[in-house]
Chains A and B, each alone.
Chain A
C-alpha cells in the first residue's frame, strides 16, 4: 500500500478499509491473531524480512492505537493500564513547576490544553523519536511526554519487543521447519515470495472474448501497455533474437500471466529465435522450457508470474547481455534517464519526478508514477483496476490495456493496438 504514495490521511483511511474488508468477519480477531503469528514465523528468517515485517506491523499497531486514542482518550489509558506500562505520571504540582519548559516544545499541547494534559516521565531511550527531534523536554535522562504523544513511545516499545521475539523465533525456525518439512515448512518458507494482491491478475480478455495477447499483437502491446521491465525484455528479444535464462523466465511467465497461450508463446519465441538459429535448435533447446513454464512438462506445476518484489530482489542483469530485472532498480541514474527520454515518457518535469523517486530508492513508486504519466486520470476511468500497479507487472499491463480499451470508446481494445501498429 505504501507503494501508492498516499498522504498520511489517505493512508489511514485506506488501511482502515483494508482491515474492514479482511478482518471484519465474526472470526476477525481470531484470524487476525493467527495471521500475525503465521507471518511472524514466516518472516523471522532473514534480516530483510524481519525488518519489513516490523515496519508493517508497527504501522498497523500505530494505526490501531491512534484510532483507540482518537475515539476516546480513555481507551488509550485503559490500554496502557491493562498492559502494565510503567509510565510514571507527573504530579500536578510538578507539572505546574515545569510549565515553562514543557510548553517550550514544538508539537505539544497549547497553554489552554496544558491544564488538562497528563504528562508522563519515561526513560529517554523509550522516546528516541521525540528526543531526536527535540520534541519533548528532557531532564536528567527522562523525557517528559504528554499523553497524546505516548503513542510513539508505545509503538517503539512494541517494536522492540516484537523484534526480540522475532530474534527468538529465528532460533526455533530451523527445527520447526525441519520437523514440519513436509507440511507447513515449505509454506512458511515461500510465504514472503507469494503474490497476494488481487491474486495473480487474470489474463486480459478482449471484449469479444478473445485473448488480447497473441504473437500477432505482442509487439504493439509491448509499446503501448507493458511496464518498463517487460518493454526492455521485449526490445532485447527483438534486437538480439534471444533472451538469457532469467529473461526468458521473467518475460515468459509475464506473457503467460497476460493470457498468451502456450501455442502463441511458442510461436512468438520461435519467430524471434529462429532468426539466429534453426527450428531444430529452437525446438531442442527452448520449446521444452516454454512448455515447462505452462505446466506441460516436468512436475507440471503452474508457475506464477514474478511480482515486482521478486524482480527487484532478484539477481541484477549482466549489462548488455541480459535484459531481465527492474530498470528502476538495476539501471543507473544516467541510463534510466536516457531511456525515459528515448521512450518519450511524459515531459521533462514528469521524468524528473520519476527519477527523483528512483534516486530515493522507491523503485515501485517510480514505476507507478510512470503509469500515472502515461495514463492520465486512469483512476477515474471505469473498469481500470490500478490496485497492483507498481506491485506486479501483470497488474500494470492489465490496467493499461483496460485503460486503452475504455479510452477507445468501448471498442475492442484491438483497435488501439492496430492504430499503434499503423503508426509504427
Chain B
C-alpha cells in the first residue's frame, strides 16, 4: 500500500485507503494514476431474487437515486448551491476559490465481473461532470480524497511533486473489526449484529461530543460505512485546513491504548484527563445497559462470566470479590445491581463512599488502581477504537458517503447523532429494496416529477435529515464567513 507515514507538511505521498481488507491492491506510485486489478467479485447472478446488489441495480441507483446535488453542494462549500437547480454553474459565484474542481475522487470499477480496476486522480468541474462519470463508469466504490492545488486529473501533465494537497475534511473511521476481543455476541471480522453495533453508537457519542466541546468543531457528519463501521467527516473550515501534524495530534488525543489481546493490563494515568472523565460519564450508563446484561454481551449474566470479570480486579480487592461472588450465587440480582454493588464494594476499600473507613495498609498506586478499575473496565469494552491512520493524512482516501457497499448492497446513509444509538444497520435499505420501494411508489402515485426519486423511498428520512441538520447549517456558516470576508475587504480599502 502506498500509505506513507510522514509528518511533514511539505512532503507528501499518497495514501491508499485501508478500510478495505478484501482486496489486494498494488500500490499507486506518486505522480501517476494507477490501475490495478484483483479477482474478487460477486458471484451471485442477477436473476436471484434475494440479490441485494448487482451491476444492473447499481446502474439504476446511480441514474435515479444517488444524491448528486447533495454531495456536490456539500463538497463545494458554496452557499450558492443551496437550492437545487443552481447546480450547473461550477463554482461560478466563487471563481477559483471553489474547491470542488480540485477535489480528488477515485473509483473502483468492475469492467468484467471479478475484475476490479482502481482509478485515482479523477476530478470534475461540475456536478454534471461528476454525474456523467459516475453513471458511465458505475463504480462499485467511490473514494473521496483531498483538495489539491491543481485539478488532480491534470496530474500527468504536471511536473512530479507539483501536485500538493491543500485541504481536506478531518475524517475518522471506526470499524467493528477492531472490537473483536470484546464482542461476546459471537461476531467477528465483518460480521455484525445488533448487540455489537451498540459499540458504534457509543463511539459516535463520545467522538461527537469530544470534537464539538474540546475542539470547537460544529459541522460534523456521520455515515454508515455500508457494512461494519462508521465514518465521521468534520467539515469546519478550520478542520479542513489542519496540517497533517495537527490531524495526528487530534487523533492521538482521542486514542486510548486499551492494551492488546495478550496484555490486557492497560492503565489510565492519574489524574484522569477531563475528556476521559467525560467519556466515562457518557459510556458507563451505556455499558450498564448494553454490555453487562444477557441481552448485551453478558459479562455479568452468569457466574462464569462474572468470575472472569472479577479476576481483573486489583489484588487488594479479592476479598470483596469473594464476598460478592458468594452473595450473587445465592440471590437473583440484575447485572446493573451487581455492577453498582461491585463498584461500591471496592470504593469502600479506598474510602470513597463516605461512611466507611478506608483501609490503611493500601499503597498509593494500589489505591489508584482500584479507583480507576471501573473506568478501565468500561473503556476496555466501549471506548472508541479509531483507525487513526485514516485521520492522520490530508490525502488519505475515504469511501464516499451515499455509496453502496457491494457486499451488503446497503447505502452508506447519514447517521443522525442524536439518535445514533437507535441506528439500525439492518434497517438501512439495500439496492433491491430501494427498487421495490420505487416501483411501489409509482404504482400508487404515478410518475411524480416534482420530487426527487430518493424522496419516494426510505432514503427520504436519512437524506432529509442530513440536509436539515448538516448541510443547511454548514452552508449558512459558509455564507456568513463569505459575507464577513467581503465586509473585511471593503473595510480595509
Contacts and interface: CB of A to CB of B under 8 A. Distances in A.
Given A138-B215, A140-B213, A125 B274 contact: no
A106 B271 contact: yes
B8 A105 contact: no
B261 interface: no
A273 interface: no
Contact of A131 (B8, B238, B250): B250
B216 A141 contact: yes
A132 B269 contact: no
Contacts of B465: none
Interface in B419-438: none
A104 B372 CA distance: 14
Contact of A133 (B9, B243, B252, B274): B252
Given A104-B277, A131-B250, A47 B238 contact: no
Interface in B234-284: 238, 242-243, 245-246, 248-250, 252-253, 269-277
A106 B368 CA distance: 14
A101 B274 contact: yes
Which of A103, A104, A137 has the most C-beta atoms of chain B within 10 angstroms of its own C-beta?
A: A104
A101 B243 CA distance: 27
Contacts of A128: 245-246, 248-249
A119 interface: no
B487 interface: no
Interface residues of B, number: 28
Nearest to B243: A125
Interface residues on A, range: 20 to 34
Nearest to B242: A125
A103 B249 contact: no
A47 B214 CA distance: 34
A136 B139 CA distance: 45
Contacts of B272: 104
Nearest to B250: A131
B249 A131 contact: yes
Interface in A91-107: 100-101, 103-106
A390 to B, nearest CB: 26
B252 A106 contact: no
A129 B246 CA distance: 9
Nearest to B247: A128
B275 A138 contact: yes
A407 interface: no
A128 B251 CA distance: 11
Nearest to A136: B273
Contact of A137 (B217, B245, B246, B274): B274
Contacts of A100: 274
A167 interface: yes
B215 A124 contact: yes
Nearest to A47: B11
B331 interface: no
Interface in A125-178: 125, 128-129, 131-134, 137-142, 163, 167
Contacts of A105: 271, 273-274
A296 interface: no
Contacts of B246: 124-125, 128
Contacts of B249: 124, 128-129, 131-132
B10 interface: yes
A338 B269 CA distance: 41
Contacts of A125: 242-243, 246
Contact of A104 (B11, B215, B253, B273): B273
Nearest to A105: B273
Nearest to A50: B10
A134 B214 CA distance: 11
A59 interface: no
Nearest to A123: B238
Contact of A132 (B213, B242, B253): B253
Interface in A26-63: 47, 50-51
B253 A138 contact: yes
A20 B53 CA distance: 73
Contacts of B248: 128, 132
A193 to B, nearest CB: 22
A125 B277 CA distance: 23
Contact of B275 (A47, A133, A134, A142): A134
A51 B242 contact: no
Given A132-B252, A141-B215, A167-B10, A104 B274 contact: yes
Contacts of B271: 103-106
Nearest to B251: A132
Contacts of A129: 249
Contacts of A139: 213-214, 216
A103 B274 CA distance: 9
A234 to B, nearest CB: 38
Interface in B184-243: 213-217, 238, 242-243
Given A101-B274, A105-B273, A106-B271, A140 B253 contact: no
Contacts of A142: 216
A134 B8 contact: no
Given A100-B274, A105-B273, A125-B246, 13 more contacts: A101-B274, A104-B273, A104-B277, A106-B269, A125-B243, A131-B249, A132-B249, A134-B273, A137-B274, A138-B275, A139-B214, A141-B238, A167-B10
8 contacts: A47-B8, A50-B10, A128-B246, A128-B248, A132-B252, A140-B213, A140-B215, A141-B214
Interface of A: 47, 50-51, 100-101, 103-106, 124-125, 128-129, 131-134, 137-142, 163, 167
Interface of B: 8-11, 213-217, 238, 242-243, 245-246, 248-250, 252-253, 269-277
Which 7 pairs of residues, A with B, have the shortest CB-CB distance? A141-B216, A132-B249, A128-B249, A140-B216, A132-B252, A104-B271, A138-B214
